[in-house]
Amino acid sequence: MRHLEGIRIVSFNHFLMGPVGIQFLADLGADVIAIEPVEGAFQRKWGGANRQVDGQTMLQLTGNRNKRSVALNLKSAEGLAIARKLVEGADVVAENYRPGVMAKLGLGFEDIRETNPRVIYASASGFGPDGPYVDRPGQDLIIQAMSGLATITGTREDGPRAVGVSAVDHHGASLFAAGILAALLRRERTGKGGRVDVSLLSAALDLQMESLVCYLNGPRNDDVAQPGRLAGWYFSAPYGIYSTRDGFIAISLGTLDALSDALDLPDEQRIPNAECYERRDEAVANIARALTARTTAEWSAIFTARGIWHSAVNDYSKLASDPQIVHNKSFVTVDGATETPVTLVAHPVRYDGEAPAVRLPPQKLGAQTAEVLAELGYGGEEIETLFRSGVVAGERVPERRDQPENLSA
């Protein structure tokens, strides 16, 4: 499954949004050459929970499969010369350095398109390529706070709260990949290259599209934090998460009338469905009290019989064995670059019923440096000199690139 076979992407990406966005295209068969400093990119040095697999961080494993790793010293003239050779033949050049850094290196959009007019130049940044915040550091938590996402995720009682994952990075990665694909399609139709810009700030606002459109039109609410058990400031009762006798249950769509019947609420606690927004605080309180009388499984059986949309609230310990997740093959275990098995989240899209394979697990630093240099026409002695002088790093002998064994059931 190689939808993008023949497309070469030179990726100067680090952290999360850039690597994950380009990984999506690598999954689809693009030849992605990931350029890293000779000491390794940020994702090799941090990864959450202080957890590593044979020295590989979780951040490295998250967004770097199906890519070839080349380690270059871009502070050296020789390293920059190699980078320029690579971008001259690239279909896509992708980067997420702070705005202006690539231009200072002579690797900006204007520089590259002089010799490669068909290039798609894709930049991911915190706030965009220009503007009053252009020099600020952009990072997921900072953007969650600035964009209002932390406010609408928090509660009226406890204040703002961050989403439990780097949601803006992940959504930004999807937009990054989508923008590049759109630009590639235009180039195929017109021959015209171009520039793609995606920012974390724009991604965070796009992630809140439903909430923001609701807020910006008509009377504006004074408080947009989550009210009590409800899942958002603009939702009606019963839409939210509630405690049961032994856990939690999410109640999605269903009328208050049907839910009141299922809960066997007394008449004085029944709120008419027509008043599900105006009297939502009262309705939620009545629902919450009733739900503590039974277990999650008992309520699930009752709600299923009555057509009330709901779900038990799973923790991570239950995900891997969830029947639908198993059926969808959402997690894939492969032999990693160190031969120790690693479990990854699979490519999220199916094409003709199949997901793309993991051709390369996340690679050791510079695993394909020698391989790529040879493709650029460097001879064996030249390559050895570049290694000895510290211009490049990694494997001196090209790595075998057998497809990793898929160990998933």
Tens-digit pLDDT profile for residues 258-274 = 999 999 999 999 999 99
Residues 98, 176 within the same domain: yes
pLDDT at 407: 74
The two tokens of residue 287 are 């629902």
Number of independent structural domains in the chain: 2
Residues 179, 40 within the same domain: yes
Q: Which residues pair with 72 in a beta bridge?
A: 392
Neighbours of 209 (CB within 10 A): 9
Identify whether 164 is part of a domain.
yes
Q: How far apart are CA 341 and CA 32, in angstroms?
A: 23
Identify whether 333 is part of a domain.
no
Neighbours of 180 (CB within 10 A): 26
pLDDT at 409: 43
Single out the residue in 283, 312, 341 at which a domain terminates. Answer: 312
Classify each residue of 102-111 as buried b or exposed e, where b means 16 or more C-beta atoms within 10 Å of its C-beta. beebebbbeb
Residues 275, 202 within the same domain: no
Positive or negative: CA dihedral 263, 268, 273, 275: negative
Identify whether 66 is part of a domain.
yes
Positive or negative: CA dihedral 340, 343, 348, 352: positive
**Residue 68's domain is classified under what CATH number?**
3.40.50.10540
Identify whether 234 is part of a domain.
no
Percent of the chain past pLDDT 70, that is, above it, reads: 98
- Phi, then psi, of 146 in degrees rounded to 5: -70, -35
Identify whether 95 is part of a domain.
yes
Residues 365, 285 within the same domain: no
Positive or negative: CA dihedral 263, 268, 274, 280: negative
Single out the residue in 280, 296, 312 at which a domain terminates. Answer: 312
pLDDT at 170 over 80: yes
What pLDDT band is residue 253 in, cutting at 50, 70 and 90? confident
Identify whether 239 is part of a domain.
no
Tokens 């790529």 belong to residue:
372
Domain around 253:
248-312
Identify whether 336 is part of a domain.
no
CB-count burial class (<10 Å; 0-12, 13-18, 19+) for 296:
buried
**Structure confidence by residue, pLDDT tens digits, 76-114:** 999 999 999 999 999 999 999 999 999 999 999 999 999
**Structure confidence by residue, pLDDT tens digits, 116-151:** 999 999 999 999 999 999 999 999 999 999 999 999
Residues 279, 175 within the same domain: no
Residues 14, 114 within the same domain: yes
pLDDT at 24: 98
CB-count burial class (<10 Å; 0-12, 13-18, 19+) for 248:
middle
Residues 32, 172 within the same domain: yes
In contact, 114 and 177? CB cutoff 8 Å: no
In contact, 16 and 369? CB cutoff 8 Å: no
Q: Is the pTM of this model over 0.75?
A: yes
Single out the residue in 279, 312, 345 at which a domain terminates. Answer: 312
pLDDT at 55 over 60: yes
C-alpha gyration radius of the chain? 25
397: left (phi over 0), alpha (psi -120 to 50) or beta: beta
Q: How far apart are CA 112 and CA 95, in angstroms?
A: 13
Residues 190, 63 within the same domain: yes
Identify whether 335 is part of a domain.
no
Residues 66, 196 within the same domain: yes
**Secondary structure of residue 147 in the 3-state scheme:** helix
Residues 14, 158 within the same domain: yes
Q: How far apart are CA 320 and CA 324, in angstroms?
A: 10
Residues 16, 124 within the same domain: yes
Residues 269, 173 within the same domain: no
The two tokens of residue 10 are 């030179």
How much of the chain is helix, strand and coil, in % rounded to 5?
40, 15, 45
